[in-house]
Amino acid sequence: MSSKHGLFIYYIKHTKSNKLLLTGKGVRDLIKEARYKMSEERLKELKDELHFLQTVREKEVAQQIKEARSFGDLTENSEYDEAKTEQGKLYSKIAEIKNLIENAEIVIATEKTDVVGMGSKVTVRDLEMKEDITYEIVGSQEADPALFRISDDSPFGKGLMDRKKGDVIKIDAPAGELEFKILKIE
């Protein structure tokens, strides 16, 4: 369903008199409620990217639009359409980064090595494959499985959090249940 302010999500809420009440919350409101865990370094990267987009990139796109307008009739001007599409993408990216910055939750890497926490480097053994792999537990904004940086919100990250050396964890995955043993926490 749409409203003049974008998508609306409706849900049922019980009132004190036990009557059902249909209430709604805009998608933007739901997005703003989210908190994004990240390091101070990641927050700085986002701020730098936002500054670049709002200064350098915005001027480049404005120049593209200006040039496209000079080609004449805008109704059949593909360069103008492309430049406006690029402008829309840019403004969307700026809004996304602003939301991340406004809702950033800075996490400090734990210095404990007796339990897994944010910032821990955890070496685990895949009990089926008999392989040892070291992962770093990070916030969702810094996760990169290709670099063995996993989010504390991922099923694997959640399974590791607050566990100790020697613990065996079971993770439900699309391929079935996987078992890992924690060998080392740094």
Ordered by where they begin, the domains of the chain are 1-33 (no CATH), 35-106 (1.10.287.180), 121-185 (3.10.50.30)
pLDDT on residue 75: 74
Q: Is the dihedral of CA 78, 84, 86, 88 positive or negative?
A: negative
pLDDT on residue 2: 36
Amino acid type, 64: Q
- DSSP states of 19-47 as a string? -EEEEEEEHHHHHHH--EEE-HHHHHHHH
Q: What is the pTM (predicted TM-score) of this model? A: 0.65
> Per DSSP, what are the bridge partners of residue 116?
none
The C-alpha torsion from 26 through 32 and 33 to 36, rounded to 10°, is 140
Which pLDDT tens digits describe the chain residue by residue (186 residues)? 333 333 333 333 333 443 434 444 444 554 445 788 888 899 999 999 999 999 999 999 999 989 888 877 777 778 888 999 999 999 999 999 999 999 988 887 777 788 999 889 999 999 999 999 999 999 888 899 999 999 998 999 999 999 999 999 999 888 889 999 999 999
pLDDT on residue 33: 59
